[in-house]
Amino acid sequence: MPAQLIDGKALSAALREQVAQEVAALAAQHKPVKLVAILVGDNPAAQVYAENQKRTCAQVGIAYELHNLPAATTREQLHGAIRRLNADAGVTGIFLHSPLPNGLDLQDAQYQIDILKDVEGVNPANIGHVVYGHTIIAPCTALAVVELIDSTGVALEGANVTVVGASRIVGRPLSLLLTERNATVTLCHIHTKDTPAETRRADIVVVAAGKPGLLRAEHVKAGAVVIDVGINRVRITDAFGKVTEKTVGDVDFEEVAKVASWITPVPGGVGPMTVAMLLRNTVRAAKLVHGLEQPFAGHV
């Protein structure tokens, strides 16, 4: 039987609706939600992302401001700009666009972001809180993957989950969130001796490697849940020699869908859910900044 599709677009739309209601409720209490994004230089992909961000925030009622800094911005100037936003009571969320121009270190800058305003969950302190099971704000894509798995109704507790890709922003924080949910996690990377053996025995496979077609049907156990984080632009030549560009994931979707029980499409899976998680984190940050939620609620 073919896999059921995990519709990230529909799930994301429902979450955005919830976010819009929460933002409206906060506004009614005179607790505005304001996200400020910093973009250093003129990277075209970051500019497109910022445009989308502006539109998405407007749709759910979040005030959005983009601070465009010149490519020649120094470390001190960038850190100063972040610290001013940290100190500004009217700013409830801070987002730093990447990549940064040469000479500026992303992690070094992320370290400056107030952990309560860190809507991407990228300050090392926030990652540290995830390690200890006291999540304040976690990275959006990792959260998106957990949310998509939960939407299937398949239990994480006791499940064998193999994550392919151990990046700082996706695979590693995801492995922590899954461990916190009592899954048994295997984290594979380029040096893993036999990644197919690890994916074949998994109840849930998450692929975040940035390699189109990496996960094939023979790498997946029948009935497994498959989450495809990859976003790759590939060139396709049709029978008439016409070349077009297409966005694909890391999973051979057509073939894997024949053996999996659930599968995410690309586009329309993890991507829209990541955006929804950013919005949800932005509301969470605003509640923390306004003192409506406590960083350690539920753990003390």
- Interface residue list for ligand NAD (CB under 6 A): 141, 164-167, 169-171, 188-190, 192, 195, 208-211, 214, 229-232, 270-271, 274
Distance in angstroms (rounded) separating the CA atoms of residues 260 and 220: 7
Coil, strand or helix at 191: coil
Residue (32 or 210) nearer to ligand NAD, CB: 210
Asked if omega into 196 is within 30° of 0 (cis), the reply is no
d(CA 257, CA 157): 24
How many angstroms separate the first and last alpha carbons of the chain? 46
Strands 232-237 and 243-248: antiparallel
Closest CA to 204 of 164, 172, 170: 164
Q: How far is the CB of 82 from ligand NAD (least distance, A)?
A: 22
The distance of closest approach from Cβ of residue 164 to ligand NAD in the complex, given in angstroms and rounded to an integer, is 5
Q: Looking at beta carbons only, is 85 or 231 nearer to ligand NAD? A: 231
For ligand NAD, give the closer residue by CB, 34 or 219. 219
| Nearest Cα residue to 36 out of 272, 289, 231 | 289
What radius of gyration, in Å, describes the C-alpha atoms of the chain?
20
CB of 197 to ligand NAD, least distance (A): 12
Cβ nearer to ligand NAD, comparing 61 with 210: 210
Closest distance to ligand NAD from the beta carbon of 92 (Å): 23
Minimum Å gap between C-beta 173 and ligand NAD is 10
- Smaller CB distance to ligand NAD: residue 91 or 164? 164
Nearer to ligand NAD, 93 or 265 (CB): 265
Residue 229 C-beta-side C-alpha neighbours within 13 Å? 25
Residue nearest to ligand NAD (CB): 167
Name the residue type at position 149.
I
Residue placing its CB nearer to ligand NAD in the complex, 73 or 175: 175
At a CB cut-off of 8 Å and minimum separation 6, what does 250 contact?
164, 165, 207, 208, 209, 210, 211, 212, 213, 214, 215, 228, 229, 230, 232
For the CB of residue 281, give the shortest distance to ligand NAD in the complex, in Å. Answer: 13
CB 213: neighbour CB atoms within 10 A? 16
Which CB sits closer to ligand NAD, 21 or 107? 107
Min dist. Cβ of residue 145 to ligand NAD (A): 9
Cβ-contact 33, 292 below 8 angstroms:
no
For residue 144, the minimal CB distance to ligand NAD (Å) is: 7
Phi/psi region, residue 68 (left: phi>0; alpha: psi -120 to 50; beta: rest), is beta
